[in-house]
Chains A and B, each alone.
Chain A
């Protein structure tokens, strides 16, 4: 019983850590590359930045966050039930795509590989968020439901109404908030 509790807390903290690592790396990378403009450049532009430290930070942040989110997804699949368990599996696939986003930057080949894994990441994260919102709603976990609804609706509207560069930023922020909230929920999960 106790080992299950400790386990779920560890997996939850992985999500929190992933969101924190990506946020910090993103901020430092943007500070390093003065040519990066919010709403004009996509986040992926940091991966091919002329400033080497910004490019490296983006690359390693994607890989480290992807690994941490994959650990979080495994925990979600193991310790949660039904829709939330399925959400964990989709989170694992999204996390693997995030690792690939770091590995295959925009300059790799003709850029299609990067575009493909980026779309896979966003698509599977959206499915994971819908499933987790559905699961939390039926399990009457009210605050995680509320955070999922807010993050999903804001992300969806940003995708529909804003330019790709701005929408990507808004969606990534929403994903980080959702992952952190789900991480806290998983860390506090009772076995």
Chain B
């Protein structure tokens, strides 16, 4: 069975989100230690997006249902960063939309069943 196209879409969305969050993190750094919490939160968002992207690979390290949880965590950390003021509303909204697309890709039954059938334990 061929890899579902939603896997590629989910992976691309996750990588794109991770890169955007990484750029936001770099922009947040102002050379002082005061901004370290905000930079850390942006890094957390970036890492969670890359982690979500990593689950959409051929040999996914997690179960199909866990992919949704990781994508949801990316959205949750983005919301936390927004509430804390660690990123601008514009970037935050873009990342939330990307995260929701990743959740929808991961929630697709064909994706979860394909991952469960092909992943190496």
Contacts and interface: CB of A to CB of B under 8 A. Distances in A.
Q: Please indicate whether A and B come from the same complex rather than being unrelated chains.
A: yes
Interface of A: 137, 140, 142-143, 145-147, 149-150, 152-154, 157-158, 161-162, 166, 170
A138 to B, nearest CB: 8
Given A154-B76, A154-B79, A158-B80, 13 more contacts: A137-B69, A140-B112, A142-B107, A142-B112, A145-B69, A145-B72, A146-B75, A149-B76, A150-B72, A153-B76, A154-B83, A157-B76, A162-B84
B84 A150 contact: no
Dominant SS among interface residues on chain B: helix
Interface in B8-40: none
Interface residues of B, number: 18
B65, B73, B84, B112, most chain A CB atoms within 10 A: B65
Given A137-B65, A137-B69, A149-B73, A143 B107 contact: yes
11 contacts: A142-B103, A142-B106, A142-B112, A143-B68, A145-B68, A146-B103, A149-B73, A152-B76, A153-B72, A153-B76, A166-B83
Contact of A146 (B64, B72, B83): B72
